[in-house]
Amino acid sequence: MRFQFVSQAVGHTWVWLMVSVMVAFLSVILVASPAMALTVEEYCTLSRDLMALSVQEWQEKAQVAGENQDTSGEELSGALQAVEQTYRPQQEQLYTSYATTYDDYMRFMGANSRAVNRYFESNPGLMDEIEDLGGQVDGYAQQVEAVMETKREAMQ
C-alpha cells in the first residue's frame, strides 16, 4: 500500500509540474510577445504606413462626398461609412504584417514615447514624410467636412 500511495503522489506531482510549466510558457507568450514584437523603428515605419493608408482612405472619402453633394445626409454618411469599411481590413493587414495589433500599437507609444521621439529626431526625413501625409489627410478631411457642413446648413 505504501508503494501505491507513493506512485500516486509522484504521478500527481508530475502532472502538476507539467501543468505549471505549460501555464508559465503560455503566459510568457501571451504577455511578453506583443510588447516585444514591435521595435521603435517598426513602430515609426508602421506609423508612416498607416498614415499613407489614411491618405488613400480620405482621398476616396473626399471623392465620395463630392459625388454625393446632392444626396441626403444619411446617404452621404452611409457612403462614407462604406469607404471606411473597405479600409478596415487593410489596416488590420498592416498591423499583422508588423506582428502587432491596434491595441498593442497604441500601448507601445504610451510605454515608449521617449524612444519614439528620439527616433524621429534622428530620422527627420521619416517625420517629415508623416507630417506631409498628415497634411494631405487634413486637406481631404476639410473637403469632406465642407460637404457635411453644407448638408447641416440645408437642414436648418
Question: Tens digits of per-residue pLDDT, 2-35?
Answer: 444 444 444 444 334 333 444 343 333 344 444 4
Task: Look up residue 87 and give its three cell numbers.
Answer: 479600409
Q: Which residues are CB-contacts of 96 (< 8 A; sequence separation ≥ 6)?
A: none
pLDDT at residue number 73: 85
Q: Which three cell numbers stand for residue 23?
A: 501555464
Q: Within the chain, which residues score under 70 in pLDDT?
A: 1-36
Distance (Å, whole) CA 77 – CA 144: 10
Distance CA 56, CA 71 (A): 23
pTM (predicted TM-score): 0.74
- pLDDT for 51 equals 98
What is the model's pLDDT at position 83? 97
